[in-house]
């Protein structure tokens, strides 16, 4: 399996994924915000892509929704955030494909500052 995490971080991540969460629990919804916007927040990634990232944040909507459920005003603000905040401070924005999303029910983008 190809991963952007070190073997140690990938092991921690896989162990965490196997843990049973209560029904309806979303670990992203519970994350403390580092930066707030109107419809979005930036949070620390607990399991960063530490092979490539010096800093690894996540950008996620405040609502627990998939990408297909985002409203026009959320998409408009996302565009503004990407054009200004993200482009000014990060090297990459990563969005996994559907088959690789570990939390497909809560849309999120990976914000990376490279090593």
Residue 3 has pLDDT above 90, yes or no: no
The domain that holds 16 is classified in CATH as: 3.30.428.10
Residue 2 lies in a domain: no
Average per-residue pLDDT in the chain? 90
Rounded distance between C-alpha atoms, residue 115 and residue 100, angstroms = 23
Q: What is the pLDDT of residue 15?
A: 86
Question: What pLDDT is recorded for position 21?
Answer: 65
- Give the confidence band of 14 by pLDDT, cuts at 50, 70, 90: confident
Residue 95 resides in a domain:
yes
Q: Is the whole-model pTM more than 0.85? A: yes
- When divided into structural domains, the chain yields a total of 1
Q: Answer whether residue 1 is part of any domain.
A: no
Tokens of 15: 């162990």
- The predicted-structure confidence for 40-83, as pLDDT tens digits, reads as follows 999 999 999 999 999 999 999 999 999 999 999 999 999 999 99
pLDDT tier at 104 (50, 70, 90 boundaries)? low
Domain that holds residue 78: 7-114
- Give the integer Cα–Cα distance in Å for 23 and 66: 17
- Asked if residue 60 is part of any domain, the answer here is yes
The yes-or-no verdict on residue 20 having pLDDT over 70 is no
């Amino acid at each position: 399996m190809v991963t952007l995490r070190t073997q140690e971080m990938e092991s921690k991540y896989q162990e965490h994924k196997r843990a049973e969460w209560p029904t309806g629990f979303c670990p992203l919804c519970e994350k403390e915000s580092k930066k707030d916007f109107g419809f979005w927040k930036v949070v620390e990634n607990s399991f960063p892509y530490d092979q490539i990232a010096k800093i690894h944040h996540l950008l996620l909507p405040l609502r627990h929704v998939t990408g297909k459920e985002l409203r026009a005003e959320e998409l408009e603000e996302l565009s503004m955030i990407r054009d200004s905040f993200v482009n000014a401070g990060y090297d990459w924005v990563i969005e996994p494909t559907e088959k690789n999303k570990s939390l497909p029910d809560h849309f999120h983008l990976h914000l990376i500052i490279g090593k």
